[in-house]
Structure 1
Amino acid sequence: MKFKPIDLTLAAMFAALMAIGANITAWIPALAFGSVPLTLQNFFCVLAGLLLGRRLGAVSMIVYLLVGLIGAPIFAGFTGGFATIMKPSFGFILSYIAGAYAAGLIVDRSKKPTFPTFLVAAFVSLAVSYVIGTTLLYVALTNWAAVPGITYLNTWKGMLVFIPKDLVLTFVTAVIAPRIYYAISKNRTSHTQRYA
């Protein structure tokens, strides 16, 4: 698939939104709920897949990953660099690629996606991100970090505090996505025709 300039612009925009979403409580501390920070990474990951499709949505997450790995402080806690790979939470960054792809795949396969399509795609994306991210977190904790007494079930229990927030944000994403999707689709089509 050949990407057009507008596609690359959209991918870069979502990579930037991921960087903002990772550190939103640093700019707006009031958004932290006690010890639980409100990050918008899953929100923007799902939105990227819904609006950009499986390929471009995944590319935007790959751009976010690569920019962070080369040293830009765009991961959670304003971290970055190749050493981030060794952090237990790195699996979640990888999971966003699959999450965006999953959401985009469902929308792409619908000729004219409606709200139920976006809703299913959004929650499938969230589930994919959680399964991959939590599984890789468990692997990291039991192998690289060698934390004693960690089980796969306990790892999931540790994620429970984040799930309600992500469920609400994912529903919001599905609600706002259809109108934005058709606006973006129209602009991409007109941009293609203009420069064809």
Structure 2
Amino acid sequence: MKSNKKFHTLDITLVAMFAALMAIGANITSWAPFLQVAGVPLSMQPFFAILAGLLLGSRLGAVSMFVYMLIGIAGAPVFAGFSAGAAVIFKSTGGFILSYIVTAYVVGKMVEAKKEPQLSTFMIASFVGIFLIYFIGTNYMYLAVNYWLSAPMSYGTAWKVMLWFAVKDVVFTIVGGFLAPRIYRSLQRSAYFAQQKNRTA
């Protein structure tokens, strides 16, 4: 959904909500340890990052992910394992945190490009989003462990490690792709977003 460059009250609320959802998604197994499959924790971060782009659009979606990153860098324990600080960005999984910003922006742009986005638009955008997350995150992990973390790993091994997580993320991507259109249209019918459209018309 497009909006002018000013941030309004609901914009800030939505950005804060998705930043909070990312924090919850990063540590969901800490509260619900049973949410694991074959020992792989069911992180909800890719799901919420893609959903942010689908529902908030490129600008607010990317801002919400950027705010989430800043909150963690500032010291709030919102990263996986309740970790925090700038050092997390330079660890092997730091690329995934960065990928969420790019993903939300690109996914949002894909939805915004359609005047009346259909289910196919949301599904395609969702899969582009999960591809970006894994492409950026896995390549960053490979570079990190080989060049500044002194824990050599082959490129193929890096992708094999991530395949365990990819299965559950593909499932969540499909679920999100199906849920997003209904939520999106509900938001579009709201008085607030109708006003936003009029401002940008």
TM-score, normalised relative to structure 1: 0.94
Partner of 1:70: 74
Partner of 2:159: 156
Q: One-letter code of the match for 1:163?
A: A
How much identity, in percent, do the aligned residues show?
A: 52
Q: Which blocks of at least 5 consecutive residues in structure 2 are unaligned?
A: none
Aligned match of 1:183 in 153, 170, 186?
186
Distance of 2:150 and 2:144 partners within structure 1:
8
Residues 1:42 and 2:61 are matched in the alignment: no
Residues 1:58 and 2:50 are matched in the alignment: no
- Offset at residue 124 of structure 1 (A): 0.3
Partner of 2:110: 106
- Offset at residue 168 of structure 1 (A): 0.4
Partner of 1:5: 9
Q: Is the CA contact 1:96–1:129 (under 8 Å) kept in the aligned structure 2?
A: yes
SS of residue matched to 1:158: helix
Distance of 2:161 and 2:107 partners within structure 1:
25
Alignment coverage as a number of residue pairs: 192
Aligned match of 1:127 in 127, 131, 137?
131
TM-score, normalised relative to structure 2: 0.92
Q: Aligned Cα RMSD in Å? A: 1.3
Per-residue displacement from partner, 1:116-136 (whole Å, max 9, x unpaired)?
000000000110111001111
* Runs of 4+ with >3 A deviation: 190-193
Aligned match of 2:171 in 168, 179, 186?
168
Distance of 1:191 and 1:22 partners within structure 2:
34
